[in-house]
Amino acid sequence: METIILRPENELLKKYVEYFLFLKKSDHNLINYTTFPNSNLCLAIYKQNKVTYVNDGKNNICSIAVGENRFSSRIYGFHTSPFKVNLQGELDQVCIIFRAAALGAFTGEGLDGIGTSDRAVEDFLRFKDGFLLEQVFDEHHPVLRARLLEKALVGKFNDRIPYRLREALEHIRLASYSGQDTIIELLCKKLGISDTTLYRLFKTHLGQNPQQFLKTVRFRRALPVLLGKEAPLTQIGLDHNYYDQAHFIKDFRAFAGLAPKKLQGKVSLAQDHLAWIFEESKHE
pLDDT in tens, 99-114: 999 998 998 777 766 7
Q: How confident is the model at residue 222 (pLDDT cuts 50, 70, 90)?
A: very high
Give the lowest-confidence range in 24-38, 95-109, 216-230, 260-274: 260-274
For position 113, what pLDDT does the model report? 64
pLDDT digits over 79-137, tens only? 889 999 999 999 999 999 999 999 989 987 777 667 678 899 998 888 988 899 999 99
Distances (CA, A) of 235 to 143, 145, 203, 226, 248: 40, 42, 33, 10, 11
pTM beyond 0.75: the answer is yes
Crossing angle of the two packed helices 163-177 and 184-191, in degrees rounded to 10:
130
Q: What CATH number should be reported for the domain whose range is 163-260?
A: 1.10.10.60
- What mean pLDDT do residues 202-227 have? 92
For position 179, what pLDDT does the model report? 81
pLDDT digits over 153-198, tens only? 999 998 888 999 999 999 999 988 888 888 999 999 999 999 999 9
Concatenated DSSP letters of 82-122: -EEEEEES-EEEEEEEEPTTTTHHHH-S--TTTTT-SBHII
